[in-house]
Structure 1
């Protein structure tokens, strides 16, 4: 059937030629050379084009654009989303008999084939919209080989005849409206704009639905010479000439009146030239550091097998797949976190305060902020290092006494109640060997930072509130460092630094672990404490809420959560964590805290948390949580870990993270923490 159609078409072309100088047989031979190589069926991409489309990434409201990823700036739209005047303009400019022919304009083809047969080359003349669609689809189709894509534009009569064959066949499968839609979505308009959506946006800063006659005529005129006639990167005078040609064609075709023609020709056009951001360095929200969240999202994407078998395939899907991604980023929370970080350290300060905010029970990452801009410019204010989330060689920072949470959880799990009391001396000589400086007769012997306030008989409640080192090192002796290390792993601490990972392999004598000597990130720390807030359910950090393909299909995205603690254990730990922030436990046992200013930020709303200072105050940390949100920040020098941030910054870090946490909670109230049962509190 297909061979018969092609043969009949060529015979008709030969008859239309009516020229003895160019025998029909010569034309038939030109087509036969290609016919012997032609495919058995119409290529599937012609029915459903798969040209590259940009992926749009939004904040959690689904409207605020973070960035786009693309190799080609193209976003497919429906015909209903394209102004009717634009549809008419492209037909007038490129194929005035589009609605009359069956894919091929025979008179035009006849003239073109005469020229091609004489020269042995294929020209571009007489190409209908359908033929142009065939050419564009085949040269863009990623499923074809490079050689097959090159054939779509090769300068031979065979290529023209192939277009004719496919165009005729395509018109029997698709309606004119479908062909027009596909054409407008794939054709190149110059200046990096592929398809009508990108062209309308780049040239005039509007959607294709809002194009007026003057704008539509100018865009339609670009197609034949997209770079030269584009008014943004090309010749504006030439673009106006082409606009006049299209308006004349529309008038001649009866699509517009003389008055409409003249008005459009006289309209003063304003050009936009705006390009889409491309990648995380171009992310919007630059002042608030959205690029850091974007970078975390991209690394998450690169690890998801549902988007490709290899990282290269996943990157290709992100840049060419045309997805709509709604992330978990809360722009309002991110803004507050960035502002609070900059209040502690300016953009040009060598020290940083990275802050992460997550949602307990889901792992959704609401904010990743730091006093830096995400960028590659060589300046202290710019970096692309993942200072908040870790990765790419960034292992994080020691967070001091925040690790006492893992010791308390291990002890509770081992059956020790919250009221487990011990005398906490200024210096505790332990069972572990130590040949380093400050040892006590070859034994590890940590001390309290503020003996007058910390020493004495303590329980988990007031020892956690006052951050008593010797109490928690002794508690670690009772349960064993291995149990504490294992607890930290269960709550998402990665031990990503090679030295930390090696120590974790044989942790039995790691007495200092409870004092937070290993590297972690604010994101890991916030997620760990969120586990306590969620009654013991650990949820891996998740930056994405939904991923939708261009055809509307959604890729399933769900939180990866696992119950790692008995709910009563988590509730007991949360009850003790009320003490550091100046609130009272369910049993009225809190007696002093290191971050008591936080209680005033929350009024009557329940909040918990923990401060952490490392040796010589090299870092200062605060992590806070409510039943609905957890946030953590670690003040540090990312370039020189030995550089001390100083004890004086602790209160400012607590305030910055506390205010961020309060902003993330929002105006809606929430239920308080569930009190632990009396057995977990006092033993049975």
Structure 2
């Protein structure tokens, strides 16, 4: 009994409120110039003319587009809702007429609320005992959609959409007010961009793309009527399976009939449209990096997205930043250069599958990764990230990935990362610190020595083995000390920085590390962009040695720490840019939905090394690659053919870890730096076989050659004085 009484009271209250509002509406309709004051102009304590900000400011989620550096090649789209706002001028009359015929035929006649429609619906629903007719105008629908999109809590969403009299009254009040503030065309444009058309298509642009793979301007009358019919029943038709097609056609034909009633079409035009076969494409808009336009470019896309989620300009938390990316309607021109990226992709394939230096032209172990990163000196712009993998999630039901390299994980059913993975192999992160890089790490000791005042011609009489200050147990230990030797056990005798670096003499650089001081070397490495990560599974990890015991970390100079191709490429880019370190960034330009440029995309650079130090280091780094010092002092090389293949002025270094678990080659010009690693990323610490410079060297060499085609051959510069070249010794 109580329930029935409560229901009667609610109905009576609703009738009274509707009556009051109807009186206001009738008055407004009859006397449009009359100011509405007092209780009649206030519903629920709000002035009729008041509007929340969200109704005047476009807050609907928008697609963000990520392009390659040329600004035209689409790399990826990012969205939570597939929506792209367009001006009404890009919506042809036939589409507007179809929507109005289906949703609100009196749109251009009423003042936001249809008084006759309210009365008609009220009577019909009372007679039926349930909701049989609605009275929402297109303006009221727009109000509801806009409020729901501006909601920040679940309760606000419920309040905006629940079927109650109070919600209807609020919509009517706001509809009256918004018609005073906006033109009819503005309201129609907002509605067309906000409405949901099913199949994850929000707004008319997305609907035209999803159903017919067209822009709205190219829709036929039949297609426009079909889309318009979906607004009331967005979930009844599946564009992929075509479930509900017959019902969709029936509703399309209904809209075409209504268009005849509104004189938008003639009977003959409607008949022709009905005879048109419904050909739904069901084109889904790719979303995110896994669906990037090129299966190889997803790794760069992922680097971009991780970078975005760290930028304070887009929110205070990673969640807020990602939400901004997927709803903010940004246009992002990334730093990915299609020419460089394609050159790296081709070169990797060549080195693994069409390599004249390998038996049968192919590398035997397919799961090994060849990973390349390219950085532009002086800007930090990442021009490409490439590997012999697809940026994809492996299928759980039909996996393509083979067994994990680590037998313990393989026994547990864990699969490896070849050929599909979403791991950031080239750019790394806290969960993937990187891989040992070998002797390329000597560059940081060399630079630190130059900073301290040691000149390039500084000689050390090298011995093999060298008894270091670092205490260890086990091999290679001699008397409790770490005793490194050189490749082949050779003692090279007197060496300087040119020859020691060119011939990669371990027993030159370990004593140099000790003389310079480990803390200085690590500080230099950090200023050149190296990161030392914690490893929760190790008691003495890279972060421990770098921060707590750098003086005793002599193995660092031979490549004991883990780093990524991107870090090493950027370190050499810093040298090529005369000591200017730039944070690696994946963007050229970011503009928001209003076309305003966002400063977060600007390069972030700092003079982290003295100019002459960087120039002297580059001069020594020319020796390993078959190039020549500007002072003619190179004598020895580890990748002699690099200069001949590339045909540009170059500097860089090879790297080989113990037992060749990983091999590396890094090459820089004045315009581009590329670092390449070959290793097993799934079990880099314990490889079952040796990696090969016959793979990694041509991968980097030919990538650089092709990326630099047609670009200037810019010479490196000498230091401004000879102090760091032929000086007498270090400063205190």
Give the 3-state SS of the residue equivalent to 2:590 in structure 1. strand
State which of 73, 90, 99 in structure 1 corresponds to 2:99.
90
Residue 595 of structure 1: aligned partner: 639
Counterpart of 2:513 (choices 476, 498, 502) is 476
- Aligned counterpart in structure 2 of residue 503 of structure 1, from 523, 541, 545: 545
Deviation at 1:404, TM superposition (A): 0.8
Matched, 1:277 2:286: yes
Shift of 1:6: 8.6
Which residue, out of 64, 68, 71, partners 1:62?
A: 71
Residues 584-633 of structure 1 show CA distances to partners (whole Å, capped at 9, x for unaligned) of 11111112211111111222x21111000111111101111000111111
Distance (whole Å) between structure 2 residues aligned to residue 301 and residue 432 of structure 1? 41
CA distance in 1, matches of 2:98, 2:429: 51
User: Corresponding residue for 1:574?
Assistant: 618
> In structure 1, what is the equivalent of residue 384 of structure 2?
367
Structure 1 residues 156 and 642: alpha-carbon distance in aligned structure 2, compared to 1, 3 A threshold: closer
Distance 1:181 1:631 in 2: 48
User: Are the counterparts in 2 of residues 597 and 655 from structure 1 also a CA contact under 8 Å?
Assistant: no
Aligned counterpart in structure 1 of residue 584 of structure 2, from 541, 544, 567? 541
Equivalent residue of 2:82, what SS? coil
1:554 equivalenced with 2:571 (yes/no): no
- Measured against aligned partners, the alpha-carbon deviations of 1:183-222 in whole angstroms (never above 9, x if no partner) come to 0001011111111111011000012222232221221122
For residues 690 and 636 of structure 2, the distance between their equivalents in structure 1, rounded to whole angstroms, comes to: 19
Provide Cα deviations, 1:153-211, integer angstroms capped at 9, x if missing partner. Answer: 32233333322221111110001111011000010111111111110110000122222
**CA, structure 1 residues 148+121, in 2 after alignment: closer, same or farther (shift >3 Å)?**
farther
- For residues 190-589 of structure 1, the aligned pairs below 5 Å read 190-229=198-237, 232=240, 234-286=243-295, 288=296, 290-345=297-352, 349-377=366-394, 378=399, 379=401, 380-450=418-488, 455-498=492-535, 499-504=541-546, 505-556=548-599, 557-589=601-633
Establish whether residue 10 from structure 1 lines up as the match of residue 22 from structure 2: yes
CA shift for structure 1 position 431: 4.1
Query: Partners of 1:130 and 1:14 in 2: how far apart?
Result: 17
**Contact 2:239–2:281 (Cα < 8 Å) also in 1:** no
Contact 2:351 2:698 (C-alpha < 8 Å) held by counterparts:
no
User: In the alignment, does 2:667 pair up with 1:659?
Assistant: no
Once residues 471 and 12 of structure 1 are traced to their aligned partners in structure 2, the CA distance between those partners, rounded to angstroms, is: 92
Q: How many residue pairs align between the two structures?
A: 661
Q: Distance in 2 between matches of 1:639 and 1:147?
A: 46
Corresponding residue SS for 1:281: helix
Q: 1:134-155 deviations in whole A, cap 9, x for unaligned?
A: 1221222234x43333233322
1:99, CA displacement in angstroms? 1.4
What is the rounded CA distance, in whole Å, between the counterparts of 1:477 and 1:554 in structure 2? 48
Quick check: 299-308 or 623-632, which moved more?
Answer: 299-308
What per-residue deviation string (whole Å, max 9, x for no partner) do you get for residues 258-302 of structure 1? 44334333333432211112222222211x2x2211221121111
Task: Give the equivalent residue in structure 1 for 2:411.
Answer: none
- Counterparts of 1:42-121 in structure 2 under 5 Å? 42-116=51-125
> Aligned partners of 1:561 and 1:495: how far apart in 2?
21
Aligned to 1:22: none
Alpha carbons of structure 1 residues 529 and 13: separation in structure 2 relative to 1, 3 Å:
closer
Name the SS of the counterpart of 2:285 in structure 1: coil
Name the CA shift for 1:464/1:434 in 2 (closer, same or farther; >3 Å): same
TM-score, normalization: structure 1?
0.91
Query: What residue number does 2:407 align with?
Result: none
Q: Tell me the alpha carbon deviations over residues 519-555 of structure 1, each in whole angstroms, 9 at most, x when there is no partner.
A: 1111111111111000001111101222222222222
Q: Structure 1: how far apart are the matches of 2:612 and 2:343?
A: 33
Instruction: For residue 580 of structure 1, give the secondary structure of its aligned residue in structure 2.
Output: helix
TM-aligned CA distance change 1:496 to 1:342, over 3 Å: farther
Question: Within 2, Cα distance between the matches of 1:401 and 1:39?
Answer: 75
Are the equivalent residues in 1 in contact too, given 2:95–2:219 (CA < 8 A)?
yes
Counterpart position of 1:23 = none
Q: CA deviation at 1:328?
A: 1.1
Tell me, yes or no, if the aligned pair for 1:123 and 1:155 is still in contact at 8 Å: no
Distance 2:289 2:237 in 1: 31
Deviations 1:625-659 (A, max 9, x none): 00011111111112222434766611320110122
- For residues 156 and 6 of structure 1, do their structure 2 counterparts lie closer, same or farther at Cα, with a shift above 3 Å needed? closer
Map of 1:619 onto structure 2:
662
Residue 35 of structure 1 corresponds to which residue in structure 2?
A: 43
Task: Provide the C-alpha distance between the structure 1 equivalents of 2:383 and 2:327, rounded to a whole number of angstroms.
Answer: 27
1:209 aligned counterpart, secondary structure: helix
- Secondary structure at the aligned position of 1:508 is classed as helix
Q: CA deviation at 1:310?
A: 1.5
Contact conserved, 1:637 with 1:645, CA < 8 A, in 2?
no
Distance 2:155 2:437 in 1: 57
Matched, 1:165 2:182: no
| Deviations, residues 230-273 of structure 1 (Å, cap 9, x unaligned) | 65554222222222222222233232344433433333343221
Once the two structures are overlaid, the 10-residue window that deviates more, 159-168 or 232-241, is: 232-241
How far does the alpha carbon of each residue in 1:285-342 deviate from its partner, in whole angstroms, 9 at most, with x for none?
Answer: 11x2x22112211211111111111222112212222222221112332233233334
- Contact between 2:678 and 2:691, CA under 8 Å: does it hold in 1? no
Q: Name 1:176's counterpart in structure 2.
A: 184
* Residue matched to 1:668: 711
Aligned residue for 2:110, secondary structure, equals coil
1:396 shift after superposition:
0.5
326-335 or 361-370, which deviates more: 326-335
Q: Residues of 2 paired with 1:655 and 1:39: CA distance?
A: 74
Matched, 1:150 2:144: no
Task: Tell me how far apart the structure 1 counterparts of residues 133 and 593 of structure 2 sit (CA, whole Å).
Answer: 32
In 2, distance between residues paired with 1:445 and 1:163?
Answer: 81
5+ unaligned residues in a row in structure 2: which ranges?
Answer: 1-16, 28-38, 354-362, 402-417, 536-540
- Structure 2 distance, partners of 1:431, 1:164, is 82
CA distance in structure 1 between the aligned counterparts of 2:611 and 2:301, rounded to whole angstroms: 34
| 3-state DSSP of counterpart to 2:370 | coil
- Contact 2:303 2:424 (8 Å CA) reproduced: yes
Determine if contact 1:529/1:625 at 8 Å carries over to the other structure: yes
From the superposition, tell whether residues 523 and 200 of structure 1 become closer, same or farther in structure 2 (CA, over 3 Å).
same
The more displaced of 376-385 and 527-536 is: 376-385
Tell me how far apart the structure 2 counterparts of residues 532 and 172 of structure 1 sit (CA, whole Å): 63
| Contact 1:345–1:352 (CA under 8 A) maintained in structure 2 | no
**Is the 8 Å Cα contact of residues 69 and 279 (structure 1) preserved in structure 2?**
yes
The DSSP-based 3-state class of the residue aligned with 1:554 is coil
